[in-house]
């Protein structure tokens, strides 16, 4: 895990059990209409109205913290003494969907399995709020959290748009000469808002979740607003990652964002970042959401191990 050399671990799908499970998932994902049209905004409005729901043990508590920007943090801690380590969770959803319930389930999972506190950022979303709203929220949230937790004890986890936000957060922290977190965990990070990186073209129709028939997926464009898609704080594939913390990247080979992970990985290696890229053959965008997939279970175990190793340092 500590090696700085490129590590590409591929897992094939050979058993009939996996094949059936995978086939059902692909059929389900291709049936979702909201990903490919304006229904995405309706999903965003719908989920934004949902009240937070956590399964708390008797020694745990949930707090909602309002930020000055208008965003909020949902904080899962112990009743008495806070944990030493914290996960700062930056959710996905194309910057148009807020903090949905499965991220709260992930927060419970992190808390119970890793013995950490979990702060989930419910950042402002498009189309009402465009760049740099979510980034401003992430920075303010981080500034608030480091008043209680040491940066070297904070793990930032982001999937899809949340992976974009995790990277741009660290770019902003470096720009402001602030201490970065201990490590980054990126699941299918979204790195290119110009949608010109290789697999946006070659795998656009292959991707069962984000794919399209003709032209580019409209899913992510609203957050861009008037920003330049070549700006590293918008599209981190254009950044250099000098001084970045240890990073774990997980991505499927059947998603159009695959080349973003390749580019980010290579640029991190070029800047001597301790990075590991794990490619899951045949898997789709943020497959970790689906617990019944064997590869999802394996991906989660890898994340837990990555964090445990760095907690003990």
Q: pLDDT, tens digit, for every residue of 237-259? A: 999 999 999 999 999 999 989 99
Q: Is residue 21 part of a domain?
A: yes
Helix (H) or strand (E) holding 72: strand 72-78
pLDDT of residue 218: 46
82 touches 116 (CB < 8 A): no
pLDDT of residue 127: 87
| Ranges of the chain whose pLDDT falls below 70 | 1-21, 32-53, 59, 212-220
Q: Is residue 10 part of a domain?
A: no
pLDDT of residue 229: 93
Q: Is residue 5 part of a domain?
A: no
Instruction: Please identify every residue annotated as catalytic.
Output: 160, 255
CATH code: domain of residue 172: 3.40.50.1820
pLDDT of residue 18: 52
Q: Is residue 213 part of a domain?
A: yes
The Cβ-side half-sphere exposure at 166, using a 13 Å CA radius, reads 34
Place of tokens 């401003």: 136
Residue range of the domain that includes 195: 16-311
Q: Is residue 4 part of a domain?
A: no
pLDDT of residue 308: 98
Q: Is residue 7 part of a domain?
A: no
Q: Count the domains in the chain.
A: 1
Q: Is residue 8 part of a domain?
A: no
Q: Is residue 67 part of a domain?
A: yes
pLDDT of residue 35: 52
């Amino acid at each position: 895990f500590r090696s700085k050399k490129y590590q590409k671990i591929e897992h094939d799908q050979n058993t009939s059990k996996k094949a059936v499970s995978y086939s059902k998932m692909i059929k389900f994902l291709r049936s979702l209409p909201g990903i490919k049209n304006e229904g995405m905004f309706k999903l965003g409005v719908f989920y934004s109205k949902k009240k937070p729901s956590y399964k708390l043990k008797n020694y745990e508590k949930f707090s909602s913290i309002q930020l000055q920007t208008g965003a909020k943090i949902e904080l899962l801690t112990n009743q008495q003494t806070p944990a030493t380590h914290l996960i700062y969770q930056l959710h996905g959803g194309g910057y148009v969907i807020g903090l949905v319930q499965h991220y709260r389930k992930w927060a419970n999972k992190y808390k119970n399995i890793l013995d950490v506190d979990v702060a989930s950022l419910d950042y402002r979303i498009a189309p009402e709020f465009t760049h740099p709203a979510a980034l401003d929220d992430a920075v303010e949230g981080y500034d608030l959290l480091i008043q209680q937790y040491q940066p070297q004890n904070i793990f930032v986890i982001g999937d899809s748009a949340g992976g974009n936000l995790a990277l741009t957060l660290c770019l902003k922290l470096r720009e402001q000469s602030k201490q970065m977190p201990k490590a980054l965990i990126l699941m299918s990070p979204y790195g290119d808002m110009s949608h010109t990186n290789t697999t946006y073209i070659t795998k656009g129709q292959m991707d069962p979740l984000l794919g399209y028939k003709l032209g580019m997926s409209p899913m992510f464009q609203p957050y861009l607003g008037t920003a330049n898609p070549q700006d590293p704080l918008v599209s981190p594939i254009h950044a250099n990652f000098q001084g970045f913390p240890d990073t774990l990247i997980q991505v499927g080979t059947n998603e159009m964002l695959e080349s973003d992970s390749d580019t980010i990985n290579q640029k991190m290696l070029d800047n001597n970042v301790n990075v590991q890229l794990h490619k899951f053959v045949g898997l789709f965008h943020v497959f970790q959401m689906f617990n019944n997939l064997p590869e999802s279970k394996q991906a989660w175990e890898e994340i837990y191990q990555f964090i445990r190793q760095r907690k003990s340092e």
